[in-house]
Chain A
Amino acid sequence: MIEAVGLTKRYGRTVAVNELSFTVKPGRVTGFLGPNGAGKSTTMRMILGLDRPTAGDVLVDGRHYRDLPRPLRHIGALLDAKWVHPNRTARAHLRWLAKSNNLPRQRVDEVLELVGLGSVAHRNAGAFSLGMAQRLGIAAALLGDPQILLFDEPVNGLDPEGIHWIRQLMKRLAAEGRTVFVSSHLLSEMAQTADELVVIGRGRLIDQSSTARFVERASGTAVRVRSPQLERLRTALASTSGAGVRAEDGALVVTGLTSDQVGEVAAAQGVVLHELSPQRGSLEEAFIRMTSGAVEYHAEESGEHLHLRGARGAEGTEGTR
């Protein structure tokens, strides 16, 4: 269990993390989703006590990280696979980690076998490919058999086999009742592994909900409809509860209603329809739309800003306009 309350981190005048509050519960994979530069890594470093919050607090099992005796037995983390000495062997790297938390020496070989590095344990970590380094980092995270695991962008730069392996591993760890908190900037990746999502942009919480709910809301159920009697249809739709309507090059885009419902409204009004098509944007598009107001660095795209809306907005604040 990880609890963040009003977590804030400022670097000079830059606010990296802004009053972030969320909880990560055991027994499921919780995705930590946000564009690059949203503050995911900073948040993870604060969880591990590496960075000091400017304000707010984050607790691991009800305690500050620094107060955990032998922390590797509570929480294992892979923040950066490159955090190894290149001239130290994989086994030596894990040996000092194990020693530091009084873990038995045979645990080192156990985790090396577990991640499939048993045969290269004697090799220097600097000679490892990114995939192997990532596995070594995961071995380090699993060393203390912790109940909580943090992974920062674990599939970055991995080949499909590696990605598949990590996904399965995270699911298995969660199925064993552990708390798994994994960050990513890819919604499509999270949609495949995470049961729950904590979504942030520009250091602020955008949403915490189940992945299914977030995906549904993010991709929305927009319906595009064209009609010669556009104004009449628009008025009728706008007065339907829960519907959001906006004009888009000679057509209407209706949110909050299914295409069936839009068709029924049109029939009730006797409006002729030339087009009635459900729109399903890609997950990534939807995610970009939801966080674009909160992206730290993004290319200017003319017109893009006209359709901005926050995650909360998706619930219907667009309403009738």
Chain B
Amino acid sequence: MSLLAVERIKLLSTRSPWWCALVALALTTGFAALVSATLSDASGLTVALTQTGSNFGLMVVMVMAALAITTEYRFGTIRSTFQAVPNRSLVLLTKTTVVALLAGVIGELAAFGSWGVAKLVQPASDLGLDSAAEWRQVAGTGLIYALAAVVAVAVGTLVRHSAGAITLVLIWSLLVEKMVMLIPKVGGDIYRWMPFNMAGHFQSSGLSSGGDGTNPAGDMPLGPWASLGYFAAFAAVVMTVALVVTHRRDV
């Protein structure tokens, strides 16, 4: 238990997580305000549309998560950490838990904040969370942010350099997954199984109106909750690799 407190102190006693949280919230709610304000007709505003900025927030949260571990390597505090607690796996799992929890909270604040802002801007719109799909779209954001944070911490642990780790997670989730579709014949099939695409599917499936309810790769192989499970499994695999590598190598 005290290790959770350790990682909480470490995370929140520097400024960057606070800034990242603020930027993530500002981006998501900002987009929601922009989108809803530019709509001429309140009836055109959907729950999915209020979440337009969600992916931007996700990027910022992944940057925060990667930094949480790479700065430890950069400043050498990882050595003090492993000196204080030689069980490296325990340290990393605790850190991941704390970062993921914070990411989850940011995700919920961002999602419901965006939804609330949109409602304020267009009071006449129908933004009731009436279906399971709409609940996933909004409340599911915290889950996705938390799992993505796990991926980012794991990648940061493996790469150990801030710039490298951030580049890798951003390029992967923004570019590489979609570029896979350029591969002739099998590209679409591979893309359907890409982790961040799966994460997107968990949130957007079943929402036909407004947002990108249809997947560019066509029919997804898994249902929304199975997709989330797939994304979680992906995060777990990357994390396991990070734990094994960290256990073996010198710091």
- A residues neighboring B (CB under 8 Å): 45, 48-52, 65-66, 68, 71-72, 77, 79-80, 82-89, 92, 95-97, 99-102, 140
B87 interface residue (CB < 8 Å to A): yes
Residues of chain A lying within 8 A (CB to CB) of residue B77: 83-85
B14 interface residue (CB < 8 Å to A): yes
Known: A49-B86, A50-B251, A51-B250. A140 touches B80 (CB 8 A): yes
Question: Do B250 and A85 touch across chains, with their CB atoms under 8 A apart?
Answer: no
Q: Chain B: interface residue count, which band? A: 20 to 34
Q: Across the two chains, which residue of chain A brings its CB closest to B80? A: A83
Question: Do B5 and A99 touch across chains, with their CB atoms under 8 A apart?
Answer: yes
Question: Do B76 and A83 touch across chains, with their CB atoms under 8 A apart?
Answer: yes
Question: Do B15 and A87 touch across chains, with their CB atoms under 8 A apart?
Answer: yes
A84 to B76, alpha carbons, bound, how many Å? 7
A87 to B3, alpha carbons, bound, how many Å? 21
Known: A83-B79, A86-B75, A99-B6. A52 touches B250 (CB 8 A): yes
Residues of chain A lying within 8 A (CB to CB) of residue B71: 85
A/B interface sample: 10 pairs, CB < 8 A: A52-B250, A83-B76, A84-B77, A84-B80, A92-B13, A96-B6, A97-B84, A99-B2, A100-B81, A101-B85
Question: Do B86 and A68 touch across chains, with their CB atoms under 8 A apart?
Answer: yes
Residues of chain A lying within 8 A (CB to CB) of residue B84: 71-72, 97, 100-101
B9 interface residue (CB < 8 Å to A): yes
Q: Mark B1-20, 1 if CB is under 8 A from A, else 0.
A: 01101100110011110000
Question: Do A102 and B13 touch across chains, with their CB atoms under 8 A apart?
Answer: no
Contacting A at CB under 8 A, from B127-167, are none
Question: Do A97 and B80 touch across chains, with their CB atoms under 8 A apart?
Answer: yes
Residues of chain B lying within 8 A (CB to CB) of residue A88: 10, 13-14
A83 to B74, alpha carbons, bound, how many Å? 9
User: Which of B2, B14, B86 touches A87 (beta carbons < 8 Å)?
Assistant: B14
Residues of chain B lying within 8 A (CB to CB) of residue A65: 86
Known: A80-B76, A83-B80, A85-B77. A100 touches B87 (CB 8 A): no
B83 interface residue (CB < 8 Å to A): yes
Contacting A at CB under 8 A, from B42-96, are 71-72, 75-77, 79-87
Question: Do B3 and A100 touch across chains, with their CB atoms under 8 A apart?
Answer: yes
Residues of chain B lying within 8 A (CB to CB) of residue A71: 83-86
Q: Across the two chains, which residue of chain A brings its CB closest to B87? A: A66
- Give min CB distance, A151 to chain B, whole Å: 14
Give the A-B contact count at a CB cut-off of 8 A.
79
Residues of chain B lying within 8 A (CB to CB) of residue A51: 250-251
User: Which of A50, A83, A84, A100 touches B6 (beta carbons < 8 Å)?
Assistant: A100
A86 to B75, alpha carbons, bound, how many Å? 8
Residues of chain A lying within 8 A (CB to CB) of residue B6: 96, 99-100
Residues of chain B lying within 8 A (CB to CB) of residue A48: 83
Known: A85-B71, A87-B15. A100 touches B79 (CB 8 A): no
A101 to B82, alpha carbons, bound, how many Å? 12
Question: Do B9 and A50 touch across chains, with their CB atoms under 8 A apart?
Answer: no
A48 to B85, alpha carbons, bound, how many Å? 11
A77 to B82, alpha carbons, bound, how many Å? 12
User: Which of B75, B85, B248, B250 touches A100 (beta carbons < 8 Å)?
Assistant: B85
Which 7 residue pairs of A and B lie closest in terms of their CB atoms, listed nearest first?
A: A83-B76, A92-B13, A66-B86, A51-B250, A100-B84, A96-B9, A100-B6
A219 to B151, alpha carbons, bound, how many Å? 59
A52 to B249, alpha carbons, bound, how many Å? 8
A307 to B10, alpha carbons, bound, how many Å? 54
- Give min CB distance, A86 to chain B, whole Å: 7
Question: Do A92 and B83 touch across chains, with their CB atoms under 8 A apart?
Answer: no
Residues of chain A lying within 8 A (CB to CB) of residue B72: 85
A85 to B84, alpha carbons, bound, how many Å? 16
Residues of chain B lying within 8 A (CB to CB) of residue A85: 10, 13-14, 71-72, 75, 77
User: Which of A52, A72, A79, A102 touches B2 (beta carbons < 8 Å)?
Assistant: A102
